[in-house]
Structure 1
Amino acid sequence: MSAAPLQYLLHAAGPASAPAYKLGWALIGLVCAVMLIIAILLVGALARRRPKSPAGTEDKLPPDTGGMNWIVIGTGISSIALFAALVYAMTTLESVASPAHDPLMTIDVTSYDWWWKIEYTDAADSSRAFVTANEIHIPVGVPVRVELRSADVIHTFWAPQLAGKTEMIPGQTNEQWIEADTPGVYRGQCSQFCGVQHAHMAFEVVAQPRAEFDAWADAQRGGAQPVTTPDARTGQHIFGERCAGCHSVRGTPAAGMQAPDLTHLASRRLIAAGQTTNTPAHQLDWIEHAQRIKPGSLMPSIALSASDAAALSAYLSTLH
């Protein structure tokens, strides 16, 4: 299991983000040019000295208007540059407002303190819909519409290599679209301060070839596999008593709605909204020390005996 990918800010990986990156570099260049010009003018002003007037003739010298001329010229150039930057920015926003082709699918993303609920809908066949958490899979080379909602406070959905930021506001549905040029794992983040664990509210976008994506989606639509070992059955019982009030596992009595769906937990790269890799040891560490790992989250720290921990781990490993 590899670690979480870096959240690159200097490289675009899709058509929804490439124009914004070009705009960003252009604005950085403009700012640097302005700073350089100001520095040169400042050095010139410090180096320039007005000759001293002979004693008794100060009032007879004409006023020095050179400085005012430079102010007028500088103001004019700055106004033109800023207006050009505004036109370029508006043109860029228009170019990324919608994809060149109709989106292949729509994904509903709901933000919570501090995790992401991902729902794959199917208007033609509701039985093909499924739910996951903190990990968005998309096929490579096709646009995907993302509908964004918040369940509590204002969050911001941001996968910088794939698209710009979009606010997630309670009671309001916003949209954006994402598309990946190449297969890979692209890190995303909430970029709106939303509480004490704002910095630990990440997600991943996994871009796959179409055949791999279809296979992943088909597997996600199924429910949990029946448990077959005594340890796993004991672990399922413990899960029902300690975890099912918040978490759901499709195909079992566990139907909690307050926390991530864990039907296919073992198939995910990361847990706890990007906090750690998804290994059995890290799963147990998260269960037993959630408030140490992510203080303020709704996930409580659950004390487990050694035998209960082993049984619960055996059950979670069956959730492929």
Structure 2
Amino acid sequence: MKIIILAGGNGTRLFPLSCDRKPKQFLKIDTKMSLLAETINRFREIVAPEDIIIVTGNKYVNMIEKELATYNMGSIHIISEPMRRNTAPAIGLAVKYCREILRCSEDEVLFVSTSDHIIRPKDLFNRAVLKAVEFAARGKFVTFGVQPNKPETGFGYIEVGNDLNGAYITKAFKEKPDAVTAEKYLLSGRFYWNSGMFAFTCGTYLKELFQYAPKIARLLKTDYAQVVKNFVDMPDISVDYAVAEKSRIGVTIPLSLYWSDVGSWDSVYDVLNKDENGNVIKGNAVTINCKNNLFFSKKYVIAGIDINDTIIVENENVILVSKRGETQKVKKIVEKIRDNKYNYK
């Protein structure tokens, strides 16, 4: 088995803490380790370092090398995309690397992981990974579905079908729902949050690409060096849209544990420990009569009086202030900042 960690994202959902120079996977949220380092550490009990491959962009290679050295994580492979082309081509590049450079067979199982999620406990997660490996080795296209505990509108969902003794037939992928639909999904018991993690063999992924994303498949038929050279011609498409939503051999492994994609400041608030007033304080903050807030400062002191249910984040000469529950709009505010050419970096 090989672990493929996708670490090329440059998202701004945790702006102003995350940015193009330091995306979310390099941030320290709830431990002293970065989210990327936590991800790697999660797999070290089931695979050797040389069985882990990190896929990233050229500009993040040095940062990842420093991370690996800082935490003494061994001889992990790093491969870089010449440019971002979303997850389906990124996984294809990793498959090509495994087949040609690492001499993996078509039957080698690949477990594809995100690099910036919080998952615990580790032992329960790893047992689920090994269950996914079993189904992948039988030629299935496996995904992880997280057991929902609320009607979340910020995630895509997976609808499951018949029980397969520890897994389910994947029936359908659903886009992020509205609140009413999310409530129906939760009550039905047949829907799971889409975790963005997958397992399959090298051969299975290539066969599915040939059937559902033939342009990617054709570009992968040359040698590895040529694939890298022609990567610019890859379509910009996620593995979900390219293959997972269309596959007829899909299997979903349910995850009943703590999982967060840390995809907004609201989710950061949910993850972190609160004081007796429900406040999360990271950095320097002084408060009077404040309840259920997140105060996150990197340099300056945040002083709050009579503030409730608010997110306040200070970093890099920017102060973000938002109502809790509204931080999914951060991308829009970043776009406005860029449109007005504010220099916050």
What's the TM-score once normalised by structure 2's chain length?
A: 0.24
Give 1 or 2 for the bigger CA radius of gyration: 1
* Higher normalized strand content (fraction of residues): 2
What's the TM-score once normalised by structure 1's chain length?
A: 0.25
